[in-house]
Amino acid sequence: MIVARSIALLLTALAFLSLSDPAHADTFGSGANTFDIEFVNIGNPGNVADTTGSPNPAGSVPYTYRMGKYEISEQMIDKANSLGGLDITTHTLGPSKPASFITWDEAARFVNWLNTSSGSMPAYKFAVHPGEVGYSADANIELWTISDTGYNPNNLYRNSLAKYFLPNVDEWYKAAYFDPKAGVYYDYPTGSDNVPDGTDFAGDPNYDAVFVDSGSNDPPHDITDVGVLSPYGTAGQGGNLIEWEETAFDLVNDSASEPRGIRGGFYGVPSDWMLATRRDEWDPLTVIDAFGLGFRVASIDIPEPSTLLLGAFASAGVLLWRWL
């Protein structure tokens, strides 16, 4: 009986450790075009919504998901373009710089490739017209319909079977502003209600977020060099580049061509762009000048078979313990 209990406790502990990994990277591509996207876990499902920001309410998510720790870089886009023929155009500021000058639909094409290249359902529906090869630069997505596998009547943009997607308004907001330990929302995505310290001059080495504090400053920083992390551990949700939300600005995803939400500020604007109360809109097929618009990717984690097996062993151990 003691042995059975010990085995059950050990298996349960191992399963818990395997399921509680706070962050890991997913690998995409092949050969010289291989790259990683690092994700952080956003837990605390069913957290209370914030009623002081924009939109109101915001930030309550009923499930656990993962948020890209960093903005998508130019190098990631270049490698996906090489392998997938995505025809995504970005500025060439450097391989580790965030991909900028990106339309919503280009971001959606990148996300779709992440899914299809790794065996998952595409998140967004692009029509293939007779005689068309690849993606058209002015192609909008289409809405998923009830006859489509993975159709979700609550979100006509995103296929429910996709593993990777653009973060919706609540997923983005929660990862940026919510502190799971304190159970509160902050005004800035730096874990604080205080105005962050920005870049005061070109080459300023001390800052909390990459935005204009005074004088002039550099173009966007490398995606890993953007200051203070959010409470969940995301980097650069405030400053560096404005980021696309998946969600339409009016919060109802019922038109493929309607403006999308954008937020977070960028290196060329003041701190108020980073506030939880600041949300703007932009056309999904239009870029913002001055390198200012990029994106990050979110994901629903699908447990590996080994993790599922370990969990099953743990459950069996617990049942055995109780039986004995």
Amino acid 146: pLDDT: 98
- What is the value of pTM for the model shown? 0.86
Reduced to 3 states (helix: H, G, I; strand: E, B; else coil), residue 242 is strand
Q: Nearest-CA neighbor of 276 among 59, 18, 40, 74?
A: 59
Task: Count CB-CB contacts under 10 A for residue 159.
Answer: 22
How would you write 177-241 as a 3-class SS string? HEECCCCEECCECCCECCCCCCECCCCCCCCCCECECCCCCCCCCCCCCCCCCCCCCCCCCCECC
Amino acid 292: pLDDT: 80
10-residue mean pLDDT series, the chain (324 residues): 42 39 84 98 98 98 98 98 92 95 95 97 82 58 96 98 98 98 98 96 91 82 97 97 97 96 94 97 83 92 48 40 43
Domains of the chain and any CATH numbers? 30-303 (3.90.1580.10)
Amino acid 217: pLDDT: 73
d(CA 20, CA 15): 9
Amino acid 218: pLDDT: 76
Amino acid 174: pLDDT: 98
Amino acid 17: pLDDT: 38
Amino acid 295: pLDDT: 98
